[in-house]
Amino acid sequence: LNDALYLNPSFVSFLPSYSISGNYLFYRGTPKADSTPSDTHGHAINASLQDGRSELFQAGVGFTQNEFSRIITVGASKSIVQKFGLGAGGKFMLPHGTAQSLIWDTTISGTFIPLDWLQVAVVLDNLLETEDGRRNGLFREYILGTKVNVMGIVLGYFDPHWASHAPNGSAFGHELGLEFPVFKDFFLRMGNFRNAKIPFLNTYTRGYSAGIGWIAPRMSIDYALTRVLDPEPVFGHQFGVTVFF
């Protein structure tokens, strides 16, 4: 649902509901290999509204506050034909603890659903890639998103991406995920990422993840565990609730 606002605004057109979402995340570093304690810790909060039922176009807005900044994200999309949609979004960032003014950038994307079991998206994130944006982790990124539904038994996700100016030689990376519908309304999830942008650390890194989700008639509840491996081991815990109608 509201994840589309941040990851792929063109997909909002394929989510025909009104939805309100809230998320809370906290993270903490663990001792390093030499037993040195870690002082890495923090939290983030997020809330968003999304309208996927409007006839003219579909849109949403979200607010995120973390240890680095406050960010307002907006997105809008339109389904050109039944299985093809285009979208655009913007992010407006106000960094903490600096004299910098508002930083903003844009996202454009397209989603194509050629088959019932296959979805494909192309996303260009941080299109402008300004100097201020780079200093705050907003690097231009080209993303290919894919989702495969294998007979309703397992859902597979593979998202390779390229960010030519990403730091530490992490230009090419991926996110890989599997989702298992254990019951009609209960899901198990696991994932792996490499050279991927982790928003709560504002850096590109590698690691893995796991999670669960429960969908009620008008509400979903989700939990995700993220294990970051570099540059130091960090555990992140995210809890989310979405109400839709």
- Give me the pLDDT at residue 101, please: 85
Number of H helices, E strands in the chain: 2, 14
- Give me the pLDDT at residue 170, please: 81
- Give me the pLDDT at residue 148, please: 98
Q: Which of 87, 137, 138 is nearest to 110 (CA)?
A: 87
Residue 186 confidence class, pLDDT cut points 50, 70, 90: very high
pLDDT in tens, 18-49: 999 999 999 999 887 677 788 899 999 999 99
**Chain CA centroid to CA 166, Å:** 17
pLDDT in tens, 155-170: 999 999 999 999 888 8
> Tokens in use for 71?
């960010």
> Tokens in use for 122?
């192309």
Average pLDDT taken over every residue of the chain: 94
